[in-house]
Structures are given as structure tokens and as C-alpha cells.
Structure 1
């Protein structure tokens, strides 16, 4: 529904001056709360509470203070990065509702995962991304891990002395992961609006030229909802070959709307020349594209030397993945079944994306076509067209809480693992990430709440 009476200002790429921002923030309760939570104040000896909270957790805690836990069914959570988990997507296969628990499943499982699942993952990548290529993955090229974050932490644990480049904005949990280890130095690389907040080959070449030897990125990108496809993705991998380790977080690869929802999954595996020599680690799992976040089954695909090290470090980091859930996952990875599943997934979430974009545009948000998500289930929503009281991520988030809607302030995606930068200088400050992962009725309720915020 259009709200013509809402007094939008002209959208501009100009940021407020530091003095103007500071004055505004000094009168904002939510800004003060954010600063307090990130000062490192330690009322308990030995405890640093700032290391225990990601952006999504912080926003959830603020929602709890507004009564979210008392009646979550009355809220619209557009903040958490979780897709709808019900068996209601047309064409999607039904998920198991019970699992066998043989005596053998009570034993410790291998920290690199059970061989049947590792083989099934390798077969899936060979069928969808390595067809006709001489170099093929085997079960020894796959490590099963208890969730994507656990996988990334394992990777960080075995990295050597290196400069690791990461991009902003990107996945909030990278910040905590990158701050846990001291065996590498982290280098933030800001993405530009002019480049649609996307990575590109010339940017990668510049980073390698200044000594970066490990590159971490999500593709498709969280939070911007954009994906780098071939031939640009292949150029990036060509530049990195024999020069840098490329860590590709591909958890949203199934949510690809660039190929007319034909089931194609975007993956760096398409462009690898030799699965043993190309230093590319691919992280994915059941969490997003199979809509099973509660199972905590994910994988890392890469050269055998990496996989051996990643399996070993699991013995002291996380102990490995739940065996019964690994066994249940094997049958889900049959390549034809997965292709059909991805086709159903893409059509369903593209329709939800289109609904969200239309509703927001009808409210008066100016969403340029180049920033419409072509992947994931996220929208990187620019707030600079709003009145000053709600044109930054934190105050907009606070206003949404009053209407029982949860979004994530963009400032959390400006990764700052070494805490060297003042995040209130961030170009992410005037954005929020909005998820269209939930069911349609939740999206409708959430957008109704945002519309009430604007009318108010």
C-alpha cells in the first residue's frame, strides 16, 4: 500500500558529517547501548562479554527486552538468517521426521565425518560442477563439520602466518572468528557502492599485490544479496591460483536467481583446474539451501592436505558432527534430487523477494535495480532517504522493535575483528539487513510493521 503522505527526503550518497552524527548519537538510547556493549567493560574478572555476541545475537537480546520471548508468534523476525524450515515449498522433497539410532551411532564419529557422507558430497560436486573435467573430488577432499561457523573456525585454526583479506560488508560472525587466532593478520577491504558492493578481479589483484595471501569471502554475499558469477568469478580464481588461498563461503549458493531459477548453484568448484593444486576451500552445508539449520551438518571441500589438517583439528575444537544426522543426510545429496530441490527453492524465494521489493517501493523506499538481490534471501536496505530520526541502522532497528519487527543494523556487517576502527564512521551505518527467509505470512506482518514505522 502506498504511503504518499510520508515526507521522504531526496536520497543521496552523502554521509552526515562526523559532528552531525555524533550529536545525533549522543541523544539516541540505542546508540548509547551499542557503545556500552562494545567498550569491553568487564564487571567479572576474566570475562570479556563483547566476544560472546554476534550482530544477530545482539539484536535478539534487544528484542527479548521488548517481550519477544514472551510471545514470539506475535513478532516478525526479519533479522535471523534462517530460511523457512517447513515442508510447504512446492516441489521440495519432504524432510525426515525421525531418525534411526543404532548402537553404532553412540560411538564417537570421525572428526572429519563419516565416509559415506564425505563421498556423497564429493559426488554431488563432481556431478554439478566437475562434469567432463579430468580432476575430480573424492571422499578425501571433503571434511564434515558441525555447522558453517565451526568449519570456518577450523580453517582459521590451521592457517599459517599470513595476511588475510576480508571484505566489508560481510557476514557478522566472521568478525568474532577472525579475532580468535593470532596466527594471521586481518586486513579489511571496503567494497564500493559504485561496484554494487561486489568483489571483482581488479580488487583481488590489488590485495594480492600488497601481500595478502589468504582471502575470505561469502559468495553469494551476505548481507547484500548479490553474487559474483562467471566469467568474473573465474578471473578471480585465475588471479589467486598459486598466489593465494581462497576461502569461499557458499552457503547461499542455492539461492541463485541469475539463471531463471533452473536449479543452477553458483560455486567456485566450476572453475578449479586441479582439485589438489588449486588452493580453494569451499564451505557449504545443509543449513541454508537444504533449510536444516538445526541439524548442524556442513562441509568443507578442498585439497586433501587441507582436509587432513581440518579433520585433525576438529578433535580439539568441536569434536565432530552428530553421527545420526550425518547418516540421514547421505540420501539427500543425490544429484538429480538436489537439482530439483534447488529449482523449487529458487522459484519460491524469488517470488518472496519480488513481494518484499514491491512492498518497500510502494512505501517510498528507492531501491535501485542494481541493488535488488540476485541471490540469497537478504536485502541490504538503504535508509538514507528517511528522516534523520530513523535514517541510520540502529535507530531504525529500535523503531521496528516498537512494532514487533526485527531487522539487523548494517553496522554489524562492517567487520572489525581487531577493534581498531570507530564503527560510527562506517559506510554501513545507514543500512539494515532485512531477511525474506521466513514464511510469507511473517513477511507480510513484518512489512506491515515497517509501514507503521514510516507512518509514525
Structure 2
């Protein structure tokens, strides 16, 4: 019986022990057999090529061939001519029992898999040797280690216990956020209007599963960060992209919008384009959505990362009718590992989200919530942000200089006034999959624009926040050469 077919590529992270007296090909047979027996390599999964395995194992290809032939003879593997080698579903003729067909169970889940490009990025980001020019995260050297150590040094006398917290999170943090949002952003929100989440991404997921009807239409900018996720689609929502212009989302293109729809928007330092929605456009978007009684989900992950002047005030700060749900986070301003975000909305909304959150993780990290409370109430967070803005601006200027040097005539790009990203638009239509693959071979990990868009796209999301500035310049020179090579084909 043929196994369940899948494009899942098995990851191999093992090497044979060349000091062991057991023949190397037998070690390989044992390793693969045990991975399959444990269910780590599901039936139907595709193995890397023999050449790649030989390189990974550090052995001759003939050694791998011998091991593969033995495993195929056992019925553990099967060879597809032109399709490589896969884990077979045959009854094994050796003593190991056959594991469940995990791919069948995986495919039955409602949460959709990421695009293969995104899966590759998620894997390679944790491997050394790549210059990450698309990563939406602050560089490790920008992490405020001394500040965090100082804050943690004050924590023992501040924390009475580390027990479970209520549905909305730590009350002290809710109070601190309420005061900070009012002072810094003009958002009027009582603590009862604020739910602490494990990052704003969790807020998105909670909203998708407990606030929207299956089949609802979610409008987003095109391109949009949320298009690279499967959160809304997995919950049965229909995503519709709305074009951007220089002032933000062209809301008049939401032709079928109604009260059952929702607008997800990143108005300040948009991800991936860096666009800032203008003051006029913000007023118009609010009027349009309120006229339809259509709720707005405002993602303000980058709003505090302005360089020379504050962006226009947030949509939530203009909200007098409770039609905007606002999300903030410190994943972009400090570190994603702290897992702290917040959702601001009507009490009925945040309590509903909090109730579902209690059913999933029973609360964000208590330690991180106490730390964030101290950061806000001490004023240290605002002081830190001033330093971070200067550093990011210098990194942006470095990236713009490199682009002027290497991409003139190849692409156009924006000059962001804050945030992390430059939207690099290529002049010629080239295969972004091939550019991505060639860049990967050259040790460069990038984020192609088609991850974020609803149609064909020949752009690259360039982040100046993560890679070392000199590494970024070097990577951009190599990338320009790769693109020019593909343009000549």
C-alpha cells in the first residue's frame, strides 16, 4: 500500500560516530529506522537527496546508497523515480512496529500550514551562518540587557508572588498601561478595557477564534503582514487585500464592506511597506468604517519607533464609539521573548478575549508583566525608547546609503520615517523563488514580497533592525548581483 503523499522535507541533524566499530552504513540504517519508529519522520515524508545526506553525514555518497538500499529492501523506505525517497507505509519486515500515520492526522487539523518559503525562513533563522536582512526583530546587541538587569534587581521587593493572574492580566500592569496610553498616545482606556496577551499575535489569534463568524470578510492592506500568517484563514475567514497609496489604505476599494466585515490595519510604519497613514486618511477611514458599523483592528506594533516626529495619533485615540480594537506590544521595541502585548477595547470584548485566553494558556508570563509594570511606572521605558530610535535611524540611513550604491537602476524604495522596514520594489519581473534560493546559497536570508501580497509581487521586505550594519551592506551588494543575473536571463 502506498503511503500518504506529502511535500514535507525531513530535517537531518545527526552525524555517524566514525570512532565506533559499527560500520557507518549500519549506523545510518539504525538512525533512520529509529526516527521512523519514534514517529519523528511521518509516513510519506520525503528524505533529502543522497548527495545532501552524504554531505550532512560527512561520508561518501556510496555509503548513503548502501544504507538506502537496505532500508528499501526492508520496506521502511520507498523510492520514487524522479521524486526522491520517502518513508513507506508498508508493513515492516523487521521487529519495529509501524507508527501512526501522523501526516494523515496533521492534515485533518483546521490550522493551515505556512507557505514553504515561510517555513524555510522560520527554520533558517535559527541556524548560524546567514545574514538575516528580512528579520522583523531587533538585533541581539540592541537588547537593553543592563536596563533589564537593573529592573530585575528591583523585582524581589516588588513581586508578592508568582501565582496565576486573572483574565485581563496583572492589575498593576493594567493600571500602568492605562496611564501610559493616555499620556503618550492619547488613548482613553481604563484598566478594565485592557487585556494583557502573550504578544499581539496572540491577540490576533484570540480575535479570530472567538469574535468573528466563519466566512466573515477581513480587509487588510495589500500587501500586509497578516497575509503571511494563516490565522484568519484557518478560522474560516475570507481575506481581501486593499491597495495602498502614499497616504495609506485606499478604503474606497472595500466594495463589499458591511457590519459583518472587519478591517485589520497597521497605520503607523506599516509592515511590510513602512507606510504611515496620513492624518486626513485616518479621519476618512474612521468615518467610512463607523458609517458601516464595521469594526477596526488596529495593530500598533511599531508606533513608538518614530525617528524625527510622532506619526498622527492612532485610530483608537479618535475612537468615541468603541469601534476600534487596539493592539500594542513590546516584541518590536524590546524583545519578543518577553511575550507581552496588550489588547484595548470595550469591556465586553476584552473580557471575552480574556476568558478564551484563560482556556488556552492561563495567562502571560507573570514575571514579564511585573517587569513591564516597573518599566512603565519608573519612566525607564520612555528613556530607553529615545536611545533605540536614534540607533534605528542610524541603521536606516546605513541601509539607504547601501541601496543607493548597489540598487540604483535595479529597484525603487521608500525612506521610512520609523519602524523596521524598507520596501524594495524591483524594476524587472524575476522569479522571486529563484532569487530567494540563490540568496540562501550565498548565506543571505531574505523575505520576498510575495509572502505578504495577494497577487504577483516583485518586492523584498528589507529590515535594517536585525543584521549588523556592515553585514547588511555586504549582503545587499551580493543580492544586487543575484538580481542583475536573473534580470539578464
**2:190 aligned residue:** 138
**1:328 aligned residue:** 371
Distance 1:316 1:280 in 2: 25
Distance 2:177 2:409 in 1: 41
Aligned 8 A contact 2:248 2:281 in 1: no
Distance 2:176 2:148 in 1: 18
| TM-score w.r.t. length of structure 2 | 0.68
**2:456 aligned residue:** 427
| TM-score w.r.t. length of structure 1 | 0.73
Aligned 8 A contact 1:281 1:300 in 2: yes
Aligned 8 A contact 1:380 1:434 in 2: yes
Change (3 A) 1:94 1:367: farther
**1:34 aligned residue:** none
Unaligned runs of 5+ residues in structure 2 are 1-100
Aligned 8 A contact 1:393 1:408 in 2: no
Higher relative contact order (CA 8 A, sep 6+): 1
Aligned to 1:96, which of 129, 132, 149? 149
Q: Deviations over 1:74-131 (max 9, x none)?
A: 4211122101243578xx9823374757996442222321101111111111112328
Q: Aligned pair count?
A: 376
Aligned to 1:280, which of 324, 331, 336? 324
1:250 to 2:300 alignment: yes
1:139-178 to structure 2, matched below 5 A, reads 139-161=191-213, 162-172=216-226, 175-178=229-232
Q: Deviations over 1:303-339 (max 9, x none)?
A: 1111111111102233220101110111222495444
CA displacement at 1:217 relative to structure 2: 1.7
Distance 2:143 2:104 in 1: 49
CA displacement at 1:435 relative to structure 2: 1.1
Aligned 8 A contact 2:197 2:343 in 1: yes
Change (3 A) 1:361 1:392: farther
What SS does the corresponding residue of 2:264 show, helix, strand or coil? strand
Aligned 8 A contact 2:298 2:316 in 1: no
Distance 1:111 1:383 in 2: 47
Change (3 A) 1:123 1:207: farther
Aligned 8 A contact 1:122 1:139 in 2: yes
What SS does the corresponding residue of 1:94 show, helix, strand or coil? helix
**1:181 aligned residue:** 235
Change (3 A) 1:408 1:55: farther
Aligned 8 A contact 2:305 2:389 in 1: yes
Aligned to 1:51, which of 109, 112, 131? 112
Distance 1:342 1:54 in 2: 34
1:347 to 2:390 alignment: yes
What SS does the corresponding residue of 1:373 show, helix, strand or coil? coil
1:405 to 2:460 alignment: no
What SS does the corresponding residue of 1:320 show, helix, strand or coil? coil
Aligned 8 A contact 1:76 1:446 in 2: yes
CA displacement at 1:164 relative to structure 2: 2.3
Distance 1:156 1:119 in 2: 27
Aligned to 1:267, which of 314, 318, 337? 314
Aligned 8 A contact 1:254 1:345 in 2: no
1:294-313 to structure 2, matched below 5 A, reads 294-313=337-356
Aligned 8 A contact 1:122 1:137 in 2: yes
CA displacement at 1:160 relative to structure 2: 3.8
1:108 to 2:152 alignment: no
Aligned to 1:239, which of 263, 275, 288? 288
**1:227 aligned residue:** 276
Distance 1:284 1:348 in 2: 21
Aligned 8 A contact 1:63 1:401 in 2: no
Distance 2:141 2:407 in 1: 32
1:86 to 2:125 alignment: no
Distance 2:302 2:342 in 1: 14
Aligned 8 A contact 1:191 1:197 in 2: no
**1:437 aligned residue:** 465
Change (3 A) 1:282 1:93: farther
**1:36 aligned residue:** none
